[in-house]
Structure 1
Amino acid sequence: MTTQNAQTTAPAPDLAKQGSHHWVLTLELPGRMSATQYGTLTPAVGATRYDTFLDIRRYIVAGNPELSTANVVFFALESNQL
C-alpha cells in the first residue's frame, strides 16, 4: 500500500498573467439587487484613477445592463504587488 501526501498550500499565482492592479467594485440598486465584482488590470499609460474607475464600471454594466443606474457602494483599486 502506498500513500501520497496531499498538497496543503496553494501554488503561487502566475503574476505574469495578471494585471498590475487589483480592483473591487460593488454596485447596488437599492431594494432590488447588488453586485460585487473583482479582477486585475493594467491601466493604459497616462490613465487616471477616475479613468480606470469608469472603464471598470462600463465593463460591469456591459455584462449587467440593469446596473447602468446603480449606486456605487464600494470601489478599491490597488497595486497587485504584495
Structure 2
Amino acid sequence: MTSKTSSTPATGTSAASQGSHMWVLTLEMPGRAMTTQYGTWTPPAGSSRFDVFMAIRGHVAAQQPEMAGANTIFFSLEPNQL
C-alpha cells in the first residue's frame, strides 16, 4: 500500500494571502493505495460544503487519476483562522 501527501504550500505567507478555508482529504483504494492531501482555498460565493468537497475531490483525482474511484476516508473543511 502506498501513501502520498501533498499540500498547497503556505510557508512564510500571511493568513490574508491564504484561502479562507483549510481542508484535508484522505482517499483510499483498499489494499492498493492511500493519499492524504491538504491545503487552503477560498470557495466561490454561495458554495455549499458538498460543492467544495466535490471540487477538492476532483482536484485530487486530476492529480492522481488512480484515486478517482477511491473511498473517502476523511474530509475536513474549516475556516482558516484561529
The TM tier, using the shorter chain, reads 0.7 to 0.9
Q: TM-score, normalised by structure 2?
A: 0.84
Segments of 4+ in structure 1 off by > 4 A? none
User: Which runs of 5 or more structure 2 residues have no equivalent in the other structure?
Assistant: 1-10
Measured in 1, the distance between the counterparts of 2:23 and 2:73 equals 14
Percent of paired sites with the same residue: 54
* 2:25 alignment partner in structure 1: 25
Between the aligned partners of 1:57 and 1:21, the Cα distance in structure 2 is 15
Q: How many residue pairs align between the two structures?
A: 72
TM-score normalized by the length of structure 1 = 0.84
Shift of 1:12: 6.8
Structure 1 unaligned blocks of 5 or more: 1-10
1:24-44: CA deviation from partner (whole Å, max 9, x where unpaired):
000000000100000000010
**What's the Cα RMSD here?**
1.4
Higher CA-based Rg: 1
Give the structure with the larger strand fraction.
2
